[in-house]
Chain A
Amino acid sequence: MTLEDLQELSEKEQLRQAEKKHRILYCSAAGCASCGSDKIGAVLKAKIKEHGLEKECEVVGTGCLGLCGEGPLVKLQSDQTLYQNVDVQAAEQIIESHIVKNLPVTAKKVDTTQPFFISQTKIVLENCGEINSESIDEYIGVRGYEALAKVVNEMQPAEVIEEIRKSGLRGRGGAGYSTGLKWGIVSKAHGEQKYVVCNADEGDPGAFMDRSVLEGDPHRVLEGMAIAGYAVGATQGYVYCRAEYPLAIERLKLAIKLAEKMGMLGNRILESQFNFRIDIRIGAGAFVCGEETALLQSIEGKRGNPKPRPPYPSEKGLWGMPTLINNVETFANIAPIIRNGSEWFAGIGTEKSKGTKVFALAGNIRNTGLIEVPMGIPLRKIIFDIGGGTPEGTEFKAAQTGGPSGGCIPKDHLDLPVDYESLSKVGSIMGSGGMIVMDSTSKMVDVAKFFMQFCMDESCGKCIPCRVGTRHIYGLLDKISKKKATQDDMVLLQELCTMVKETSLCGLGQSAPNPVLSTLRFFRNEYEELLQPVEIYQGEPGVVADFEK
Chain B
Amino acid sequence: MIQTEKQQHPSGDNRFKLLDRAITKHQARGDALIEVLHVAQGIFGFLENDLLIYVAHALKLPLSKVYGVATFYHFFNLKPNGEHTFVLCMGTACYVKGAERIQSALEEHHQCKFGQTTKDNKVSFITARCVGSCGLAPVAVLDNAVVGKLTPDESIKKVEQLKNTLREVVS
Say if the beta carbon of A360 comes within 8 Å of chain B. yes
A206 B136 Cβ-Cβ under 8 A: no
Say if the beta carbon of A303 comes within 8 Å of chain B. yes
Say if the beta carbon of A368 comes within 8 Å of chain B. yes
- Which of A350-358, A434-442, A527-535 lies at the interface with chain B? A434-442
Which A residues are CB-close (under 8 A) to B32? Answer: 301
Which B residues are CB-close (under 8 A) to A232? Answer: none
State whether A363 and B93 are in contact (beta carbons under 8 Å apart), knowing that A30-B146, A301-B69, A303-B72 are contacts in the complex.
Answer: yes
For A355-379 the 0/1 string (1 means CB < 8 A from B) is 0000010111000111000000000
Which chain A residue shows the least CB distance to B134? Answer: A362
For B143-154 the 0/1 string (1 means CB < 8 A from A) is 001111000000
Say if the beta carbon of B57 comes within 8 Å of chain A. no
- With A and B bound together, what is the CA distance between A464 and B132 in angstroms? 31
A328 to chain B, nearest CB (A): 13
B130 A304 Cβ-Cβ under 8 A: no
A70 to chain B, nearest CB (A): 8
For A263-292 the 0/1 string (1 means CB < 8 A from B) is 000000000000000000111111100000
Q: Which positions 296-315 of chain A face chain B at CB distance < 8 Å?
A: 298-304
Contact of B129 among A35, A69, A205, A303 (CB under 8 A): A205
- Which of B5-13, B73-81, B156-164 lies at the interface with chain A? B73-81
- Chain B count of residues within 8 A CB distance of the other chain: 40
Which chain B residue shows the least CB distance to A70? Answer: B135
B73 A206 Cβ-Cβ under 8 A: no
For A195-238 the 0/1 string (1 means CB < 8 A from B) is 00000001111111001000000000000000000000000000
Which chain B residue shows the least CB distance to A215? Answer: B132
B140 to chain A, nearest CB (A): 10
Which A residues are CB-close (under 8 A) to B135? Answer: 31, 67-69, 71, 208, 360, 362, 368-370
Say if the beta carbon of B139 comes within 8 Å of chain A. yes
A487 to chain B, nearest CB (A): 28
Which B residues are CB-close (under 8 A) to A360? Answer: 134-135
Which A residues are CB-close (under 8 A) to B118? Answer: none
Which chain B residue shows the least CB distance to A438? Answer: B96
B92 A284 Cβ-Cβ under 8 A: no
Q: Which positions 74-97 of chain B face chain A at CB distance < 8 Å?
A: 74-76, 90-97
A34 B133 Cβ-Cβ under 8 A: yes
How big is chain A's contact interface, by range? 35 or more
A204 B130 Cβ-Cβ under 8 A: yes
Q: Which positions 29-57 of chain B face chain A at CB distance < 8 Å?
A: 29-35, 37-38
Which B residues are CB-close (under 8 A) to A117? Answer: none
Say if the beta carbon of B63 comes within 8 Å of chain A. no
B134 A206 Cβ-Cβ under 8 A: yes
Say if the beta carbon of B18 comes within 8 Å of chain A. no
B129 A287 Cβ-Cβ under 8 A: yes
B113 to chain A, nearest CB (A): 15
Which chain A residue shows the least CB distance to B74? Answer: A285
- With A and B bound together, what is the CA distance between A360 and B32 in angstroms? 33
Contact of A206 among B29, B74, B91 (CB under 8 A): B91
Say if the beta carbon of A245 comes within 8 Å of chain B. yes
A286 B146 Cβ-Cβ under 8 A: no
Which A residues are CB-close (under 8 A) to B94? Answer: 206
Which chain B residue shows the least CB distance to A298? Answer: B34
Which B residues are CB-close (under 8 A) to A301? Answer: 29-35, 69
- With A and B bound together, what is the CA distance between A206 and B134 in angstroms? 6
- With A and B bound together, what is the CA distance between A180 and B144 in angstroms? 41
Contact of A282 among B38, B91, B131, B145 (CB under 8 A): B38
Which A residues are CB-close (under 8 A) to B97? Answer: 363-364
- With A and B bound together, what is the CA distance between A443 and B107 in angstroms? 23
- With A and B bound together, what is the CA distance between A438 and B98 in angstroms? 12
- With A and B bound together, what is the CA distance between A454 and B31 in angstroms? 28
A244 B132 Cβ-Cβ under 8 A: yes
State whether A284 and B34 are in contact (beta carbons under 8 Å apart), knowing that A205-B92, A436-B92 are contacts in the complex.
Answer: yes
- With A and B bound together, what is the CA distance between A33 and B73 in angstroms? 27
For A51-83 the 0/1 string (1 means CB < 8 A from B) is 000000000000000011101000000000000
List 8 A-B residue pairs with CB atoms under 8 Å apart, sorted by A's residue number.
A31-B148, A283-B75, A284-B38, A284-B73, A302-B33, A363-B137, A368-B135, A442-B96
The chain B residues found within 8 Å of chain A, CB to CB, are 29-35, 37-38, 65, 68-69, 72-76, 90-97, 128-137, 139, 145-148
Closest 9 CB pairs of A and B: A68-B135, A34-B146, A206-B92, A205-B91, A284-B73, A285-B74, A362-B93, A285-B75, A205-B130
Beyond A35-B136, A287-B129, A368-B93, list 5 extra A-B contacts (CB 8 Å): A30-B133, A208-B130, A208-B132, A283-B73, A284-B75
